[in-house]
Amino acid sequence: MADVADLDDADELDGADELDDVPAEGFYERIDTGRFLASAYTRGPWDRGSQHAGPPAALLGRAVEERPDARDDMRIARITYEIVRPVPIGPLEITTSVLRAGRGTEVVEAALAPAGAAPVMLARALRIRVAGEPVPAVLPGPAVPPPAAVGRTPFFPVPWATGYHTAMETRFTEGTFVEPGPGTCWMRMRVPLIVGEETRPLDRVLIAADSGNGISAVLDFAKYVFINGDLTVHLHRHPVGEWACVEARTSVDAAGIGLADARLHDEEGPIGRSAQSLYVAPR
């Protein structure tokens, strides 16, 4: 859930204080091909001028899928993100390139950068060709209780009125944001990823997956930081529907290195896994 490589290095974006006063209809507004303007809904809980990593992860995943030369017979099976530095709230540019292309697989890289600056977040996706004829489906693991079975669960206290915490609806079937230990949380976007454009099921999964370490926090937010510098999402089934569920567990070693590991679900059952490497230290 943390969205910066080092919180101490996070600089507030000029004008970030005014973002709460600007009405927003989505996480991003498309300015032009490959260019976007982030809204206050992307703001993470730790720094007023920086984004939660969930929205830019979804935006990069969308860029991989919608690039002009993307093959229709392939879909993302794995996507790994490197969070190089805090993602600022403001104008952003995305570039994509194909690193390897084959008959059955391809590897695509996408980079997210503030206008005219070095990339702040990188994504490398493995896309696999969909079988021409159906193969036997084997879906491991039981489904979790549906979101309709539980009520809305509030986020932990955040010091600003508008951000990722207000743009996402959350419903826990196990644990809470303020209860240490494993957690299972259904999440649904309350606004589109891009203003005026249809939100896709893949957007809904990628925007939620980075919340695993917050959902399964095992240490006190007030006493420790547990920041992820990466995120990897594996999908064996293409997601469907409005809801994505993150069933997360966190492990921390005394050396200050942790792992947030999660099973991902939609309302039809398991769809894959996500993992975050964690830097853990006293505040």
pLDDT on residue 9: 36
The answer to whether 94 touches 59, Cβ cutoff 8 Å, is yes
Q: Is 86 buried (19+), middle (13-18) or exposed (0-12) by CB count in 10 A?
A: buried
Give the N- to C-terminal CA distance of the chain in Å, as an integer. Answer: 17
Domains and CATH numbers, the chain: 7-131+149-282 (2.40.160.210)
pLDDT on residue 19: 52
Question: What does the pLDDT look like over 38-88, one tens digit per residue?
Answer: 999 999 998 999 999 999 999 999 999 999 999 999 999 999 999 999 999
The stretch 254-278 carries a mean pLDDT of: 96
Helices within 36-124 (DSSP H only): 54-66
Q: Give me the sign of the Cα torsion angle 252, 55, 191, 263.
A: negative
| CA angle, 133 then 126 then 195, to 5° | 95
- Of 171, 128, 125, the closest CA to residue 150 belongs to 171
- Of 185, 44, 189, the closest CA to residue 121 belongs to 44
The stretch 6-19 carries a mean pLDDT of: 40
Q: Scan for tokens 């709460």, then name that residue.
A: 20
Please state the length of the chain. Answer: 283
3-state secondary structure of 278: strand
The stretch 220-245 carries a mean pLDDT of: 94
3-state secondary structure of 44: coil
